[in-house]
Amino acid sequence: MERGGAVLIDIDGVLTVSWEPLPGAVAAMERLRASGRSFALVTNTTSRTRASIAERLARAGFPVTVDDILTAPAVTAAYLRERCPRARCLLVNAGDIRDDLPGVTLVDDSDPDADVDVIVVGGAGDEFGYTALNRVFRHLQRGVRLVAMHRNLFWRTADGLSLDSGAFLLGLERAARVEAEITGKPAEAFFAAALAHLGAEPSTALMVGDDIESDVLAAQRSGITGVLVKTGKYAPETHRAATGTPDHVIDSFAVLPDLLERLATGSG
Ligand SMILES: [Mg+2]
């Protein structure tokens, strides 16, 4: 990898857990910033806007701004604007991400008779009740397009694992005999959007994540060098059972600057 290659960094489980910084992560990001390398924080988070994530991370001490952050909702908005412009979209999501969906026409989810062209599934929460899901199912039966920000089955919160929208998506797809178009990680289009954001080429880029399949191996399929960290959702069983081998495995984000230096000097 040549010096100056772009670095894509997952947030949850790599930099933070429940938005609290992991040991050494702030210092490592300061070193990365000082090195002049371009980087982007890439996340499937659907509960907060880019601005809110930037504010939270900055408050925790990370030297980042809103321009450094790329979320699944932001990439989804670009996807919808390009693939189905002017479509009337019904958003099913927990958390207010409307600020990150510019140029997307959202229908009023309280109006059961509203015309819908595309169902957009974000992250799970109380919004995924029977009435809402049955309404989505009926739209899908009519041939309405299904776009989902990710397929995550569950995620780790401060009070334990919680069921995510991927679990509901499987039921909807089976029942309506459709397949969702995925816009966040592990979709190739997501990594392409992140690299385009930085003006970077896959061959000189690295992706750092704690999800071996969705972050690391998915990035490697796009020609990006994959780096797995042993923090967050990392588990030795998942690592052993994975469908491929990460290019690099490091204990935590704290030692990423050392790996980058080794790679830049060709001693890695
Ligand atoms: Mg993660």
Query: How much distance in Å is there from the Cα of 211 to the middle of ligand 1?
Result: 6
**Domains assigned to the chain:** 6-44+187-266 (3.40.50.1000), 85-182 (3.40.50.1000)
**CA atoms within 13 A of residue 219's CA, in its CB half-sphere:** 32
Over residues 12-40, the pLDDT tens digits come to: 999 998 889 999 999 999 999 999 999 99
CA of 145 to the centre of ligand 1 (A): 28
pLDDT value at residue 160: 76
Ligand 1 mean position to 162 CA, how many Å? 15
* 229, 240 Cβ separation under 8 angstroms: no
Enter the pTM of the model: 0.89
State yes or no: pLDDT of 8 exceeds 80: yes
Quick one: which of 198, 190, 240, 180 has its CA closest to 215?
Answer: 190
Inter-helix orientation angle 188-198/72-83, to 10°: 100
CA of 267 to the centre of ligand 1 (A): 28
Rounded to a whole number of angstroms, the CA Rg of the chain reads 19
Going by pLDDT thresholds of 50, 70 and 90, the confidence category of residue 1 is very low
Distance (angstroms) between ligand 1 centre and the Cα of 152 equals 11
Q: What is the pLDDT of residues 154-172, one digit of tens each?
A: 877 767 778 999 999 999 9
What are the tens digits of pLDDT across the range 73-99?
999 999 999 999 999 999 999 988 999
Tell me the per-residue pLDDT of 247-268, one tens digit each, with 9 for 90 and over.
999 999 999 999 999 998 886 5
DSSP conformation class of 233:
T
From ligand 1's centre to the CA of 186, what distance in Å? 12
What is the structure's pLDDT at 154?
82
**Distance from Cα 82 to the centre of ligand 1, integer Å:** 27
Of 48-62, 102-116, 209-223, minimum mean pLDDT range: 102-116
CA of 83 to the centre of ligand 1 (A): 28
Kindly give the distance from the C-alpha atom of residue 30 to the centroid of ligand 1, in angstroms, as a whole number. 20
* Distance of CA 45 from the midpoint of ligand 1 (Å): 9
Centroid of ligand 1 to alpha carbon of 107 (angstroms): 31
Length of the chain: 268
State in Å: Cα 102 to ligand 1 middle. Answer: 25
